[in-house]
Amino acid sequence: MSLISILYICCHRVATWAIYASSRDNILHFILELPWQYALGPHISVNLIFCKKISRNIYFNLVAIRQKNFLRLRSKKIIHQDIEQSPLAKTPALLLFFQSEIPYSLRKLSFIMAGLKRAVDGSEERNGKRSKIKESSASKSKSVKSSSSSKKDSKKDSKSSKSDKKPSKKVQKEEFEDDDDFDIDDVSDEDIDALDALSDDEMPDVSEEEEKPKSDKKSDSDDEEQREAPKNPNPNPNNNNSRESHIKQKALQQERKAAKPNADTVARSKKLWEQLRRKSHVPLEQRKKLVKELFEIITNRVRDFVFKHDSVRVIQTALKYGNLEQRKLIAHELKGTYKELAQSRYAKFLVGKLIVHGDDETRDLIIPEFYGHVRRLIRHPEGSWILDDIYRTVATKAQKNRLLREWYGPEFVIFQDEMDTTSDLAKIIEAHPEKRGPIMNYLRELINQLVQKKSTGFTMLHDAMLQYFLCTKPGSNEANEFIELLKGDEEGDLVKNLAFTKSGSRLMCLTLAYSNAKDRKLLLRFFRDTVKAMAGDVYGHQVILAAYEVIDDTKLSAKSFFPELLNQNEPEEARNEELCYQVNDLTARIAVLYPFAGERVKWLLPEADQTVLEEVREVRKETSKKDPAMRRLELVKAASPTLLEFIAARASTLLETTFGCQFLSEVLFEADGDKTAALAAVAEAAKSHTEARDTAHAGRLLKSLVQGGRFNPASKSVEKVEPALNFHDVLYAQIKDEVVDWATGTNPFVIVALAESEGFEKKSELLKTLKKSKKALEQASALVVEKDGKKKPSPTSSGAKLLLSKI
């Protein structure tokens, strides 16, 4: 049995099954893909036959799929004699007919029933697009065809804006394919015999044509254009068709705009907006005239402008350039619509403009319209951001409390107690213990909804989450479920967003304090690639400090924070440059210096940070085991090598600023490791940079380093560090030729510290040098400064007097 016979039997059985499945309604919704078509391609030719039973007559519409040249012959669709006697022909169905002498020319075949849309044309010119002209049924009469053709013409006119972008060749092909629809009764037996007589020589081979170069295809298309030239007398119809369709499209667009209400008013206002928005090109006087004209147009019509994407910009520009009275006029005209405006995709920006450019009266006009709608607005994709922006930026404390109370249940929406306006959930539950269950359930449900929707960046949400966590008992199911909620966010967006708000950072600090070691490790993972941003944030750095305080595994802390915080993975030059910016920033330096500051950390931290950390330290007593001093020393040891290398490379830059000198003193006193290179770099910078060394902060730093420790005001003594720095020897080696200049300059107390140092081996040499310049010291000691009308000794004179007493 040949391969073709086997294939025919398989397809015959598939068709029989399809007929049986569709015999009830004679409609076959069936698509057959041929997975073996590539292997048998050279041997198979497929004729797609759609059959439909109409008035007891079976009509066959045979579409012979051929090459482009064969299509141009416009071959008639026929019924093959072998199939006419087949039992499959008695039932309307999908029939497969194989003819081995015709080449297989299609690489993707889809067989579908009549009545569905035409299959996708696989030719290269159509790019796989479906024909825009539907096939007419073979059973329709000619009169029906004529009416359908007129409808098609009307459709083409209405869709000219789409068809002008397509090449004319495609349009011609679509018309050509449409002409292939015919009635089977028109086919004669002579035509059938003529087509059956076609030989292999007359039919072009697919394989041969595919091997032809592209130039042959191009020549064929050129020949086709030449034959069809009489139909299109215009040599280049594409340009004219495109131009005409574009003109029609513009005309239709103008007609649609003109038909809209207030079309003239909107058009005039948009012209004024076009001039006003060019800020740098409009003189002040001209702008005032334009704004005045614009307000004449929009007054008492603002509501007609605000819900359209183009006209709402006009109102925003009017708010921007209008005076306070004009802004109030717009705000009062929109009264009663702010809830709808906040939920509008475009008008929400207008509400933001009113809040930014308005005064307290405007604010108090807008915010009360959100009362009672917080639950709906906070879940709205547009209104949630406007509500949260208002809550975070301009709302008063009383307004914030009322908005936040609506998170606790519908009771707080319906029944408003003017005397009780607190949003502290703990106080509310303390006053009404019986309400704890409903309030906590309602609040937990609303929080969970926003977390599941990934809407985790709202300050109002963070405040509500903090209130919920503060009302849970540590170790209870509620507290554990809440921590699981934080851990459940696989992307970590919730935890990251919490770190950058006041309530959220406090919540994360408490969560780290109450969590076990495993949960802490998981939470720290979420902060990867966010550490530096957190360190520079006014609230985010508190989370880093809390992690320093409570995590016993200091290797985990160092691994989680220091590579990014200290730029350890960057090249040396880039790392040092970035650290220069960090240590000179008021907030970013806190996370770097906190382990080195120890118990004297109060000078480094703001009051808000101290309050949060005191709360964390109280919780730490129950949840952490390691000694706090040991934990701090281990963190210092991990950070010291990078910072000492940084000082050795950039000591001169650090000596120029107050923050830089504070950084130098903390690290050089507390760092663990070899400090020789860093101390030498500081001494060299003190000699070479005269402007930097003459500043007060540089003088205090050098004096402390020479003394070898910090001065304790309580005991009025210097607390020396171990091991000793011996900076006096390093500094004297650099400045021994300039000692007199230092003693009579702006920082004589550095020389005083050298003269008072106990371990300084060259003290006698220093005193001899000073003794030789006694006259210069006496002159310096006589210097006075006038302050508040009174003459007082200058710092130079005070230092010179002390040196005179030493010699």
Each residue's pLDDT tens digit, 1-13: 555 555 555 554 5
Indicate if 83 and 126 belong to the same structural domain: yes
Q: Span 112-132, mean pLDDT?
A: 41
Q: Which of 627, 657, 673 is the last residue of a domain?
A: 673
Domain count, the chain: 3
Q: Average model confidence (pLDDT) for the chain?
A: 76
523 assigned to some structural domain: yes
Indicate if 639 and 770 belong to the same structural domain: no
What local confidence, expressed as pLDDT, does residue 41 receive?
42
362 assigned to some structural domain: no
What local confidence, expressed as pLDDT, does residue 90 receive?
39
Indicate if 657 and 750 belong to the same structural domain: no
Exposed, middle or buried, 103 (CB in 10 Å: 0-12/13-18/19+)? buried
Indicate if 792 and 710 belong to the same structural domain: yes
238 assigned to some structural domain: no
435 assigned to some structural domain: no
What local confidence, expressed as pLDDT, does residue 143 receive?
44
Tell me, yes or no, if the pTM score tops 0.75. no
Each residue's pLDDT tens digit, 289-338: 988 999 998 888 888 888 888 888 899 888 988 899 999 999 999 999 99
| Local confidence band at 787 (pLDDT 50, 70, 90 cut-offs) | low
What local confidence, expressed as pLDDT, does residue 616 receive?
95
Each residue's pLDDT tens digit, 179-220: 444 444 444 444 444 444 444 444 444 334 444 444 444 444
Q: Span 632-657, mean pLDDT?
A: 95
Q: Span 361-383, mean pLDDT?
A: 94
What local confidence, expressed as pLDDT, does residue 5 receive?
55
Indicate if 713 and 637 belong to the same structural domain: no
What local confidence, expressed as pLDDT, does residue 309 receive?
81
Residue of higher predicted confidence among 534 and 250: 534
Q: Span 493-498, mean pLDDT?
A: 95
What local confidence, expressed as pLDDT, does residue 182 receive?
40
Residue 15, pLDDT > 60, answer no
Indicate if 94 and 190 belong to the same structural domain: yes
Indicate if 661 and 730 belong to the same structural domain: no
Q: How far is CA 788 from CA 452, 785, 791, 792, in A?
A: 65, 10, 8, 10
Q: Span 770-778, mean pLDDT?
A: 85
Q: Span 150-158, mean pLDDT?
A: 44
**What range does the domain containing 45 cover?**
3-143+172-212
273 assigned to some structural domain: no
| CA–CA dist 578, 565 (Å, integer) | 10
Residue of higher predicted confidence among 255 and 273: 273
Q: Span 616-623, mean pLDDT?
A: 93
Indicate if 496 and 566 belong to the same structural domain: yes
25 assigned to some structural domain: yes
Q: Which of 656, 673, 690 is the last residue of a domain?
A: 673
Indicate if 621 and 709 belong to the same structural domain: no
246 assigned to some structural domain: no
HSE-CB for 52 with a 13 A CA cutoff: 17
What local confidence, expressed as pLDDT, does residue 388 receive?
96
What local confidence, expressed as pLDDT, does residue 800 receive?
82
Indicate if 195 and 128 belong to the same structural domain: yes
615 assigned to some structural domain: yes
Q: Which of 212, 238, 270 is the last residue of a domain?
A: 212
Indicate if 665 and 716 belong to the same structural domain: no
- Beta bridge partner(s), residue 711: 718
| Local confidence band at 748 (pLDDT 50, 70, 90 cut-offs) | confident
Q: How many CB atoms lie within 10 A of CB 241?
A: 17
Indicate if 732 and 794 belong to the same structural domain: yes
Place of tokens 């307004």: 399
Q: Span 677-706, mean pLDDT?
A: 92
What local confidence, expressed as pLDDT, does residue 652 receive?
93
Each residue's pLDDT tens digit, 430-458: 999 999 999 999 999 999 999 999 999 99
HSE-CB for 435 with a 13 A CA cutoff: 15
Residues 6+ apart with CB under 8 A from 649: 572, 576, 681
Q: Span 759-768, mean pLDDT?
A: 87
Each residue's pLDDT tens digit, 17-76: 444 444 444 433 333 334 444 444 444 433 333 333 333 333 333 333 334 444 444 444
Residues 6+ apart with CB under 8 A from 748: 742, 780, 795, 796, 798, 799, 800, 802, 803
| Local confidence band at 686 (pLDDT 50, 70, 90 cut-offs) | very high
**Angle between helical axes of 540-550 and 607-623 (0-180°, round to 10):** 30
Q: Span 459-466, mean pLDDT?
A: 97
